[in-house]
Amino acid sequence: MGKKRLCPGGKLSRSFALCPCCYNEPPFPQMGQGKGCDNCPHPTCPNSFLTQGVCGCVQDNCDGVLMLDPQSHPKWRLTCNKCPSVVGLFEGAGKVRVSDNECVNCGAQQIRVDYKDKSPLPEAATTWTGCAFCEESVKSLLNLNHAYITSEQKESFSVGVLTLLHAMTFADRFSVAGALAPLQSFYNIDNAQSGLIQTLFLAATVTGAPLAGYFGDRYNRKWMMTGGVLIWIGVMIASSFVPGDMFGLFLVLRCIDGLSENFVYACAPSMIADYFSGQARSYAYMFFYYGINVGSAFGVMVGTAISDSVPSADWQWALRFVPAIVIVGWVCLLLFVQEPERESPVGEKSTSFMSFFHDVLYLVTIPTFLLQCLGAAMINFTTGAQGWWNAAVIYYSIDYNKNVSMAQFNQIFHHNEFKTIMLVTGFIGIASTITGVSFAVYWAESWRNGRGIFSKIKTIRAPALVLAISLSLAAPCSIGTQLFVLKDIYGYYATQLAGGFFMGAAWVLNLDILYRTTSASRRATSIMMWTLVQHLLGDGPSPYIAGSIADAFRGSDESSYGEMWALLKSFYIVNSITIPAALIHYVVAITMKRDQERNELAAAQENEALADDAGSMRKATLLD
C-alpha cells in the first residue's frame, strides 16, 4: 500500500482528510517533505492547491492561494495556504466545488454551489455557478471578518519560546561554571578535570550535531525539539543527584545533556528563518541571539548565588533551577509553537544519508561558509574559556587579596564580595549583549540598505564588515579585562561591558551571512556543520586547554596566588585568538558578495524550473 499523507485545508483548517491520491500511490515527487495538500502542485489530485485554489490571498503582503477547504461543511470556507486568512462563504450549502472556469473580470476560479433547501441564493435557486468575489448577488454570503488577520503575533511568541530554550541551553552549561569551586571540592578534581566537564559536554554536542542537522532538514522540527528537550530536562535533573564518588557518571550525564540540546541549536534558527524574511528575519535573530550571553550570564549568576547561599555539601541545588524554567518552555513549545512552512523549493528532500553527504559537499564549496566556521571557532575558543574560568579567577583573586590584607582587598574590590561581583558581572553580560546585538544589527541593516550616513556607501558586505570591526575592538577589551582583576574591579566591570558590547555581534551577524550564502533547503545542515566546527575547534577544547595551561604554569603551587596567576597567564594566550578571528572576517567581507549572488541565482533558477514544470503538467492535463 502506498504512503499516507494528512492533508490540511489551509493554514487554519482544523479538519483533516486522508489524501486518496497519496494513500493509494507514492506521493507526488514535487510534494515537499512534511507538507500537506495545501502546498502540493499535483495537477489532477482533487486535494491539491492547483485544483482547490480559487484566487490569490486577499492579504496585501501574502503571496499565498485561497483554497477551498473540502472538509469545512457546513460552514464552508476558503483558507490561505501561506497565512491565517479565512473567507467564509455559502454557509449551509450541501456542496461547494471549485469550477474549471475562470472569472473574466478578476481571474479567480468560479465556484459551483448546491443547496438542498432554504437556499439564500437569488430567487431561492438551489444551484449557482460564478465568481463569489465579483457577483453582487452573492457578496452578502461571503464572510470577510477573518480575511485580514495577521500571524505576526503568533510567530513572535514562537520566537520568544525558542529564544527562552536557546538561552537555557547556555544557562544550563554555565550554572556549572558558577558553582565550579564547590564542585571541584565535592568531586576532588583539579583544573584540567574541571575543564574536562565542559570539553566532554561539547564533544557530545559535536558528535550529535550532524544528525540533528540531517533530521532538521527532512522532518518535523517542532516534534524533534519537543522530544530532545524532554530528554534534556530529565538528564539535567539526574545530574544534580550524582554522589561525590561518581564523577565519571556526572561526566556521562553531561555528555547526554549536550547531545539532547542539539535539536534546539539545529531546529530553532531554521524555524525562525521560515517564520520571517528580509529585515524582519535579522531582527528576529537579534532577539534569538540575546539568549547566548543572557543565558550564560544568567547561568553563572544562578550557579553562584545558589551555591554560595547553601552549605557546600548542598551545592547541587545550583543545577536544579534551570530545569524548572526549561519545563515551562517545553510546555509552551508543545502547545503554542507551530512548525512553519519551509522556505525551500517545492521539491521533496531526499531522506537518504547520501543526500546528507551531498549537502556537506555543497557546503565545503562555499568559501564564505568555510571562513565563517573557522572565524566562529576562534571566537568560541576565547569566549568558551573565559565563560568557564572567569568565576574561578575572581574567586582566587579575592581569596589571595584577603590573605594579604583586608586593606588591599578593599582597595581593589571596594568591599564587593564574590557573590556580589558575580551578580554584577551577570547583569553586565546581559546589558552588554542586549545593547551590543541591537546596535550591531541596526548598524549592519543601515549600512546594507544605505540609510542615513551610509547612503553613499551601501553594500551587501555590511554584516561581515560590522562583525570584523566589532571583533577588532573587542580584542583589546578581552585582554584588558584580565589586567583589571589585579588593579580595580570597576575597571574590570568597564572592560567587560565594552568587550561584551562588541562581541555581541558575532553570532547573529554570522548566522545572517550564513543564511544569505547557503541554500534554504540545506538550512539546518549548514547551521549544525557551522555549530560542529565552532564547538570542535572552539569552546569544546578551550576550557580543558586553558585549564591544562594553567596547571602547567601553576606547578605545585596550590595557593590562591598560584591558582590566580596560572589562570591569568593562560587567559593571555587564549584571548589573543580574537585578533586572527577579526582578520578572517575581513576576508569574509570580500568573499560573501559573490557567494550570496550565486546562492540567490541558484534559488531563483530552481524555483522557476519547478514552477514551469508544474504549470506544464496542469496545462497538459486540462488539454486531455
CB 186 within 8 A of CB 314: no
Q: How confident is the model at residue 354 (pLDDT cuts 50, 70, 90)?
A: low
Cα(389)–Cα(392) distance, rounded to whole angstroms?
A: 5
Question: What confidence score (pLDDT) does residue 164 get?
Answer: 92
Helix (H) or strand (E) holding 112: strand 109-114
Question: What confidence score (pLDDT) does residue 328 get?
Answer: 93
Selected residue with higher pLDDT from 440 and 508? 440
Average pLDDT on 414-435 reads 84
CB 458 within 8 A of CB 448: yes
Question: What confidence score (pLDDT) does residue 291 get?
Answer: 80
For the ranges 36-45, 131-140, 242-251, the lowest mean pLDDT is seen at: 36-45
Q: How confident is the model at residue 535 (pLDDT cuts 50, 70, 90)?
A: confident
Model confidence at 224: pLDDT above 50: yes
Question: What confidence score (pLDDT) does residue 237 get?
Answer: 92
- Cell numbers at residue 299, please? 547561568
Cα atoms in the Cβ-side hemisphere of radius 13 Å centred on 477: 19
CA dist 133 → 87, 103, 105 (Å):
11, 9, 10
Q: How confident is the model at residue 296 (pLDDT cuts 50, 70, 90)?
A: confident
Go through the chain and tell me how many residues it has.
Answer: 624
| DSSP string computed for 36-52 | -GGG---SS-TTSHHHH
Q: How confident is the model at residue 23 (pLDDT cuts 50, 70, 90)?
A: low
Selected residue with higher pLDDT from 2 and 63? 63
Per-residue pLDDT reduced to its tens digit, 121-164:
777 778 888 887 787 777 777 776 555 545 566 788 888 899 99
Q: How confident is the model at residue 330 (pLDDT cuts 50, 70, 90)?
A: very high
Each domain of the chain, given as residue ranges in start order, spans: 44-150, 152-286+294-307+314-347+382-598
With H, G, I as helix, E, B as strand and everything else as coil, classify residue 98. Answer: strand
Q: How confident is the model at residue 614 (pLDDT cuts 50, 70, 90)?
A: very low
Model confidence at 7: pLDDT above 60: no
Beta-ladder partners of 79: 67, 86
Model confidence at 234: pLDDT above 70: yes
Model confidence at 326: pLDDT above 90: yes
Beta strands in 202-356, from DSSP E residues, in sequence order = none
Q: How confident is the model at residue 249 (pLDDT cuts 50, 70, 90)?
A: very high
The residues, ordered by sequence, that sit 6+ positions from 257 with a Cβ below 8 Å of its Cβ are: 172, 201, 204, 232, 235, 236, 239
Q: How confident is the model at residue 18 (pLDDT cuts 50, 70, 90)?
A: low
Model confidence at 586: pLDDT above 90: yes
- Cell numbers at residue 378, please? 576562534
Question: What confidence score (pLDDT) does residue 325 get?
Answer: 93
Question: CA 265: distance to chain centroid?
Answer: 6
Question: What confidence score (pLDDT) does residue 331 get?
Answer: 93
The mean pLDDT value of the chain amounts to 79
- Nearest in space to 239 (alpha carbons), one of 225, 220, 221, 253: 253
CB 130 within 8 A of CB 254: no
Per-residue pLDDT reduced to its tens digit, 256-284:
888 888 888 878 887 887 787 767 777 78
Average pLDDT on 497-508 reads 83
For the ranges 43-57, 376-390, 554-568, the lowest mean pLDDT is seen at: 43-57
Percent of the chain with pLDDT over 70: 84
Cα atoms in the Cβ-side hemisphere of radius 13 Å centred on 454: 17
- Nearest in space to 478 (alpha carbons), one of 501, 455, 452: 501
CATH 1.20.1250.20 fits 152-286+294-307+314-347+382-598, yes or no: yes
Average pLDDT on 417-439 reads 84
| Residue 442 one-letter amino acid | Y
CA dist 515 → 277, 295, 354, 471 (Å):
11, 24, 23, 21
Name the burial class of residue 478, with classes exposed (0-12), middle (13-18) and buried (19+) by CB atoms within 10 angstroms of its CB: buried
Q: How confident is the model at residue 624 (pLDDT cuts 50, 70, 90)?
A: very low
Question: What confidence score (pLDDT) does residue 201 get?
Answer: 81
- Cell numbers at residue 127, please? 444551484
For the ranges 127-141, 344-358, 392-406, the lowest mean pLDDT is seen at: 344-358
The residues, ordered by sequence, that sit 6+ positions from 295 with a Cβ below 8 Å of its Cβ are: 166, 167, 168, 169, 170, 171, 174
Per-residue pLDDT reduced to its tens digit, 65-120:
888 877 777 778 887 777 767 787 777 778 888 887 888 777 888 888 888 777 88
Longest Cα pair distance anywhere in the chain, in angstroms?
101
CB 133 within 8 A of CB 107: no
| DSSP string computed for 481-500 | HHHHTTT-HHHHHHHHHHHH
CB atoms within 10 A of CB 241: 12
- Nearest in space to 110 (alpha carbons), one of 82, 142, 135: 135
